[in-house]
Amino acid sequence: MRLTPEQLTELRSTPLSSTGNRLAKAIELVGLRQADVANAASLSQPYVSDVARGRHTTITVENAHKFCDLFGCAIEDLFPSRAA
């Protein structure tokens, strides 16, 4: 489920959308469904969907780490600062 170096470069170059995160792009790049990510991270599919669509503008550090561990990236890759 980890992003390849090429996918990670693409993720990092993806402009920050109105969702405030790049979770949906990471899911797309690895070719999984939100349900697959939810199962692997021990989270609910509706929660993953809400985060990916920007319905949760803040998430816990624990959950951010779960996503980053799955994709093999840094928190800043998925949840960059708006100032960046």
Q: 17 lies in which domain range? A: 5-78
CB 78 within 8 A of CB 71: yes
Q: Output the domain CATH number for residue 54.
A: 1.10.260.40
The answer to whether residue 84 sits within a structural domain is no
DSSP assignment letter at 31: T
The answer to whether residue 13 sits within a structural domain is yes
- Within-domain flag for 83: no
Q: Does 63 map to a domain?
A: yes
How many domains is the chain built from?
A: 1
As given in the structure block, the two tokens for residue 29 are 């790049």
The pTM of this model reads 0.92
Q: What is the pLDDT along the chain (84 residues), one digit of tens a residue?
A: 899 999 999 999 998 878 889 999 999 999 999 999 999 999 999 999 999 999 987 899 999 999 999 999 999 999 998 654
For residue 25, tell me if it sits in a domain.
yes
